[in-house]
Structure 1
Amino acid sequence: MIPFNQPALAGNEEIYLQEVLRKRKLSGEGDFTIKCHRWIEQKFNCEQALLTPSCTHALEMSAVLMGIKPGDEVIMPSYTFSSTANAFALHGAKIVFVDIKPDTMNIDERMIEAAVTKKTKAIVVVHYAGVACEMDAIQAIADRCGLFIVEDAAQGVMSTYKGKPLGTIGTFGCFSFHETKNYTSGEGGALLINDKRFASRAEIIREKGTNRKQFLRGQVDKYSWVDIGSSYLPSELNAAYLYAQFEKADHINQDRLASWEHYYHELQELADRGYLDLPHIPDFAEHNAHMFYIKAKDIRERTKLISFLKENDIMAVFHYIPLHSSNAGKMAGAFHGEETYTTKESERLLRLPMYYGLKKEEIGHIAATIKAFYL
């Protein structure tokens, strides 16, 4: 069976894990955590980066930093994971869902401004498959309306918009290092803070509402509870594994891009003949090959194709069920405007195996099996 995903093991992961065990320092904010912070800040030129136990936690921290409260509204696409909405619904915000663009599966920037009200606090963009949203247009709306922008860049590490790294464009950026992502610590994430006004408070919120970080730097003579917060530090074991991946980030990226390009080449004939659709990468975006998906005619054809691939020892999966159609989504928010593409396109999309080390021959087998289904 060709698996759908396989976490990368690319370099010094085992060596660094052993180093942590030898030092007997397992809790957060150790040497490897600091190294990861510095790597993100330098690689992506962001104001501040803080590792978190997950991208979900990074999103939750952004909600606290923005002061989200009951009655506020937050605009986002419905085609996303529950964490994107949960982070703000937890604080009582109403989630306002808007439609996506069928070519990229990203939020349709043309639908955002009509959804803004006096209660709107933020726009949350999701860079689906590591492909950038149209950030200039979205930033212009945020500037006109006085809104925060949060980038859910869970899938976007190493991707760019007009040369600028995803996660560094909005007020806050949120990364995921879950084992399904390009760079992993098993479970993990990071909050990127692009406005230095929030840097000091972010450290406090992350440290259970205490000024412990300032104490460790010698800025205060003792630390105490000074604000609301929670435990948003990952283990040093997670950070050690992640740092080894960062050391090989460019290599991992090139490997995945080569696989993505091979898929595209192998399946181009089927797309040209109208059997399926392939991913679209806008000119303004440089992607990271987080996933390779195809679009079948409809949900019935997709279901048959998934079964056919499984019969041939290939694990392929569909993705999100649109949040506005879920029970929690109906309680937490509502869809604004016409829902033209979100459900229709989500029911067509099928994700193919994609991971570091995927062999060219395996991609060839997957493509040949898909061709056998259609031809």
Structure 2
Amino acid sequence: MIPFNKPFIIGKELKYIEEAVKSGKISGDGIFTKKCQEFFQNRYSFSKVLLTTSCTDALEMAAILCDIKEGDEVIVPSYTFVSSANAFALRGAKLVFADSCSDNPNVDPEEIDRLITDKTKVIVPVHYAGVACDMEAIMSLAEKYNLFVVEDAAQAIDSYYTFSDGTKKALGSIGHFGSFSFHETKNIIAGEGGMLVINDERFFERAEIIREKGTNRSAFFRGEVNKYGWVDIGSSFLPSEIISAFLYGQLEHLEEIQARRIAIWDRYYDGLKYLAEEGFLQLPLIPDYASNNAHMFYMVCRSYEERTALIQFMKEQDIHPVFHYLSLNKSDYFLKDNMEVDIINSDYFTDCLLRLPFYYDLNEEQIDKIVNEIKEFYKIESNFS
């Protein structure tokens, strides 16, 4: 069987977990948490990094830092995971869903512009498949209307955006905040785990307080105050040292992991290019301003029925591709208080996008089998078309 995902160990993850336990501290903000945070700050020039228990928690921290109040409007892609929206719904925001681009699942800046009102407070671009949204256009809108930008970079570690002047910046470092995931389906994994990047120094101190249950505990441990107490709202957003130790073992092999993933992505693309050229499917688009971190490989079928048939065909060959998000504008939760509306491109990707198995240990023989079975499916389909 070829599963959709498979967690992996590449280096000293287990050794570092043992070291963390033997150190006598496995709660948050120990030696491995600090090492991970320093790694990210140094490699990607992030202004400030705080590890969290998940990307969801990082987004919830960002919503608090943006001071979201009841009735504030937050523009979120319809085609995204629920956490992108839920973090702001929890603060009482009105969610305004924006459509994807017609040729890729990322949010369309023109749609964002159309949806901005005097109640809009935050834009949440989601870098789908680790490929950058058009951040130059989005930041221009944010500056024009004085809005916060929270980058949902859950899938976008080690991915970049190139501005029109040639400046290249890591995703997550462009908006006011960036959020990342180290879930077992991501490039760099820790089982669970996430990270909040704070790019605006106005929020450095408060971010630490929110992460530490609303206390100034971090300042106390640095000797900046002689006691700590409850000074703000917050929650327990710190990951344990077990998570951070595993994560650091992966970070030491980041370049090796990325090279392997890019090789897998390229083999898929080369193998399926012919079917795309013949019009059977669409392959991922990488805009000129974006890099490719090979987070996933997806294809877009011609219809919901075709995708359903392909998934069933592949499962019969012991291969397990999966579809992805259901448009949030069609979700049961949203429709409790809102009328159903069509968001055309998002609904299209909901119905037609298919993700292929993708993980570090996927080998060339398995990739070729997946590609050949997809070709066989379309060979059969073309006989009936």
Same fold (TM over 0.5): yes
Tell me which of 229, 235, 258 is aligned to 1:224: 229
2:13 counterpart residue number: 13
2:283 counterpart residue number: 278
Question: CA deviation digits over 1:15-58, x for unaligned, max 9?
Answer: 10111122231111100000011011111101100000000000
8 Å Cα contact 2:78/2:343 also seen in 1: no
Query: C-alpha displacement at 1:339, in angstroms?
Result: 2.3
Distance 2:360 2:33 in 1: 23
Query: C-alpha displacement at 1:331, in angstroms?
Result: 4.3
Report runs of 4+ in structure 1 exceeding 4 Å deviation.
331-336
Query: C-alpha displacement at 1:361, in angstroms?
Result: 1.0
Distance 1:10 1:349 in 2: 30
1:316 counterpart residue number: 321
Compute the TM-score of the two structures, normalised by the length of structure 1.
Answer: 0.98
Distance 1:62 1:140 in 2: 20
Alignment of structure 1 residues 148-163 onto 2, 5 Å: 148-162=148-162, 163=168
Question: CA deviation digits over 1:317-366, x for unaligned, max 9?
Answer: 00000000012123476789x72211022211000001112101110000
Tell me which of 189, 201, 204 is aligned to 2:206: 201
SS in 2 for 1:112: helix
CA RMSD of aligned residues (A): 1.2
Distance 2:200 2:339 in 1: 30
8 Å Cα contact 1:277/1:294 also seen in 2: yes
Q: Percent identity?
A: 53
Alignment of structure 1 residues 298-337 onto 2, 5 Å: 298-331=303-336
Tell me which of 228, 233, 245 is aligned to 2:250: 245
Q: Does residue 202 of structure 2 align to residue 164 of structure 1? A: no
Distance 2:250 2:337 in 1: 37
2:117 counterpart residue number: 117
8 Å Cα contact 1:316/1:353 also seen in 2: yes
Tell me which of 355, 363, 367 is aligned to 2:367: 363
Q: Does residue 49 of structure 2 align to residue 49 of structure 1? A: yes
Distance 1:119 1:287 in 2: 35
Compute the TM-score of the two structures, normalised by the length of structure 2.
Answer: 0.95
Query: C-alpha displacement at 1:102, in angstroms?
Result: 2.8
Alignment of structure 1 residues 74-153 onto 2, 5 Å: 74-153=74-153
Distance 1:273 1:77 in 2: 31
Distance 2:97 2:299 in 1: 24
Distance 1:299 1:368 in 2: 21
Unmatched 5+ stretches in structure 2: 163-167, 380-385
SS in 2 for 1:88: helix
2:71 counterpart residue number: 71
8 Å Cα contact 2:330/2:340 also seen in 1: no
Distance 2:102 2:262 in 1: 22
Distance 2:31 2:21 in 1: 13
One-letter code aligned to 1:145: Y
8 Å Cα contact 1:95/1:334 also seen in 2: no
Label 1:259 to 1:138 Cα distance change in 2 as closer, same or farther (>3 A). same
Alignment of structure 1 residues 175-186 onto 2, 5 Å: 175-186=180-191
Matched length: 374
Query: C-alpha displacement at 1:170, in angstroms?
Result: 0.2
Question: CA deviation digits over 1:134-186, x for unaligned, max 9?
Answer: 00001110101000000000000001111211100000000001111111111
SS in 1 for 2:124: strand
Unmatched 5+ stretches in structure 1: none
8 Å Cα contact 1:324/1:334 also seen in 2: no
Distance 1:333 1:59 in 2: 24
1:350 counterpart residue number: 354
Question: CA deviation digits over 1:225-277, x for unaligned, max 9?
Answer: 11111000011000000011111111101100000000000011111111111
